[in-house]
Each structure stands twice: as C-alpha cells, then as structure tokens.
Homo-oligomer: A and B are copies of this chain.
Amino acid sequence: MKISRVALYRQLAPETRLQLGLSVTNRTICVLILLASLTAILETEPTLRALSPHLFPILETVFVVLFIGEYLLRLYAIGEEPRYRGVRGRIRYIFSFWALVDLIAILPYFLGFMAQDNAFLVRLFRLLRMLRLARLGRFSQAWSALADALKTRCHELLLSVGVAGLLLLFSSSCLYVVEAAAQPDAFGSVPRALWWSIATLTTVGYGDVTPITAIGKFFAGLTAVAGIGIIAMPTGILAAAFSDAFQKKRVYSGDE
C-alpha cells in the first residue's frame, strides 16, 4: 500500500482542492479535532473523571499519537511545495503559522506530566488542549466574507468601543462618588465600581451588586439607558456593513 508524496500532499493541503471541498483525510482530521476537544472539555468534570479514571488518559494518548502521526506526515508531504523543500525548508515550515498551531495541539500532553501537583497548571494545560479547535481555522476559507465586512468598518467599530470605554469609566466614577459611602465593598473605588458598570452597560445585569441609595439608582438608570446605545451602535454599524457587502455582491453579480 504505497502512497506517493504527491497524493499525500493533495490529501493534506486544503488549498489544492478549492472546488472539491475538504478531502477525506482532512475531514477525518476535523472530526478528530472536534472529538479531542470534546474529550478535553468533559475531562475537566470531576464526576465524569470519577466514573472511569483511566478512560480520559487513554483517549488523550490515542489523540496525541494520531496528531503526531498527522504532524509527521505533513512534514514529509510539504516537500511538494518548493519553498519548504530540503532540511532548511522543513525547519522554515516548522516555524510557519499553522505548523506552530499543530505543535501547540500536541505539546500540552507532554507538559501535562510536569504539572501533576499544581492544580492551576493542570487546568491551564487542559485549556491549551482546547486551543486545538484553532486548528480548524486551517480548513476554513468560508468566513473571509464576514471578516471583510468587519474590516471595512473596523474604524467605526473601534470608535464605538472607545465611546463605550469612556461611558464605562464615567458611569463607574459617578457611582463611586455617590455610592462609596453606602457600599464601600462594591463601590469603594473606581476599579470596584467597574464590575457593576460593565454588567449594566452590556445589559447583562447580574444583580450581585446594585446601588441602594436614591441618587445611586438615578445614575444607574442613566447607565442602563446608555447601555442600549452601547448595544445599538455596533449593531447598527455591523448591519450597515453587511447590507453594504450584500448589495455590492448583488451589483457585481448583475442580479439587479
């Protein structure tokens, strides 16, 4: 069962099959990435770990072995591209963006052993495993249309973020001035008031911290109303950007 390097390269590189869609190999890899991420998510739950203590480490080892195999195959097949030919080309490939992302998907497994005693590091390495999902980006040329619409209005979106930031500071400063005396724990400083302020301006509204003085409630009401503007501005900009993008497409494709 000998597979030529050309055939392997065509199976692994999504750029070579633009009209054909993802190859069988790459589809399998996508499913593997999703399964590995799901395993990493479920492994964090202690009640599931308790059910079968050996299942998750075994699954993780299987996934890592498969990803190492994929990594080595890619390293071999990439020789088809002229700029990655030879030993120096391979080293250049290893430091290319997607190859590094592939490496990051493998490394946490080995680092995991170093962090056995430190609960925080164990959690951090589990989080790194979930970054494997970023590998899916290699296979998706789909969302460029959406990203383009965002990019053309980047300036306006940043500006609305800036306006939101100033409103955030202003409302938390106001609440700090009027509520600090009544609730020093929640509003005793501007950084503390920011927690309430961000929950209100984004209309999340946890309710763990709320003003209790009449004047504090008055400013809180103004903040909540301003929050509608904070939501309306980026939404309006995005709606206009998408509308623009869809219309341009219609005009160019001669649909009208």
A binding-site residues for B, Cβ under 8 Å:
37, 40-42, 44-46, 119-120, 123-124, 126-127, 130, 133, 142-143, 145-146, 153, 155-156, 159-160, 162-164, 166, 169-170, 173-174, 176-177, 180-181, 188-192, 194-195, 198-200, 202-208, 210, 217, 221, 224-225, 227-247, 250-251, 256
Q: A44-B190, A177-B120, A231-B232 are in contact. Are A206 and B207 (CB under 8 A)?
A: yes
Q: A190-B41, A194-B221 are in contact. Are A235 and B237 (CB under 8 A)?
A: no
Q: Write the chain B residue with the least CB distance to A243.
A: B240
Interface centre among A46, A208, A225, A236 (most CB of B within 10 A): A236
Q: How many Å lie between the Cα of A207 and that of B209 in the bound state?
A: 10
Q: A142-B155, A143-B159, A224-B198 are in contact. Are A124 and B45 (CB under 8 A)?
A: no
Q: Which residues of B contact A237 (CB under 8 A)?
A: 236, 238-239, 242
Q: Which residues of B contact A203 (CB under 8 A)?
A: 202-205
> Are B239's CB and A180's CB within 8 A?
no
Q: Which residues of B contact A217 (CB under 8 A)?
A: 195
> Are A42's CB and B191's CB within 8 A?
yes
Contact of A204 among B227, B240, B243 (CB under 8 A): B227
Q: Write the chain B residue with the least CB distance to A212.
A: B208
Closest 7 CB pairs of A and B: A236-B238, A204-B205, A206-B207, A240-B242, A239-B239, A45-B189, A240-B243
